[in-house]
Chains A and B, each alone.
Chain A
Amino acid sequence: MVTVMAATAAERAVLEEEFRWLLHDEVHAVLKQLQDILKEASLRFTLTGSGTEGPAKQENFILGSCGTDQVKGVLTLQGDALSQADVNLKMPRNNQLLHFAFREDKQWKLQQIQDARNHVSQAIYLLTSRDESYQFKTGAEVLKLMDAVMLQLTRARNRLTTPATLTLPEIAASGLTRMFAPALPSDLLVNVYINLNKLCLTVYQLHALQPNSTKNFRPAGGAVLHSPGAMFEWGSQRLEVSHVHKVECVIPWLNDALVYFTVSLQLCQQLKDKISVFSSYWSYRPF
């Protein structure tokens, strides 16, 4: 019995040594790695902070679909806003080519990108306040920090992967419809959003439902992408979606940012697991 106790005492001493190493060395190494990755991620967002002067660099994205070329768009992304949108539409009925562009000096802010950028900044702020000189006293402290960082990163990723679900009246009322010159015809609705790493432009072609139509009118709820047949009421008219065109383009730096988020989340989880292993030892009791 005594030898068993001695063996467990020795084991305990080794475990404590290991835990001390974890708190003093390993944690800081992981935090440094996380900081580096997240700083890379935030650089990708290349936005003008309040310190740096000059506009963010402009990037043009050509949105098209490989199947048809009914809708083609060239969108210019500057930081977190679209500074120009050149949309070409080929109407199926009469093969007429319509062209729309943003009015002079108008910008359309993509809130998803700004939110993701702010969440990453919050995560970096949490990490920089715990640099090399900070001594972690307990494992629980590290777990709490990791939870907070993971929350920000998960939120950042979710903002990019889950665009807002809007109802058709909300899309019609959004300021985007009024940004174009020449003005969009009343039977077209346009929506722009980020989905994962892609910039998506959706164009809805509408036709008015006759008041004496036999169709059962059911207003469609909110969705990221509405399908043909969705109905809604706008002003005094009842409208139905006849065609939906969606074109998209991958934004390379968003792709990089998402990869960085995934890697960072994995690092955080691994550190949490390493600390948690020790928490079960502290209540160990020889039986």
Chain B
Amino acid sequence: MDPDAVAKAFVEHYYSTFDTTRAGLANLYQDTSMLTFEGEKIQGSQSIVSKLTSLPFQQCKHNITTVDCQPSGPAGGMLVFVSGNLQLAGEQHALKFSQMFHLMPTPQGSFFVLNDIFRLNYA
């Protein structure tokens, strides 16, 4: 399958899960996964999902502007670099963000997030 198509499909799945059933993100991470969220470092699926579900907003919508991807090496991993904006319910202005994922293949033929770094882009 075309890597760009895989990256795009993953990104759509990730953000739609985030925006509708945030706790469902748990099966996209494993124990070795690392998230750096606005500079805070978190490791492991449980801690990561705990962080994401305790963010100070209930509803949000990610709108993706750009998706770039590259293969990361012989293990079949993919680096995905996303930029877009994040609309929080009740807020007038959307927040701009950039995020990178390092996806690794699972034996079942899908991907999990090994590395995840998120940053808001302030004006």
Q: Do A and B bind?
A: no
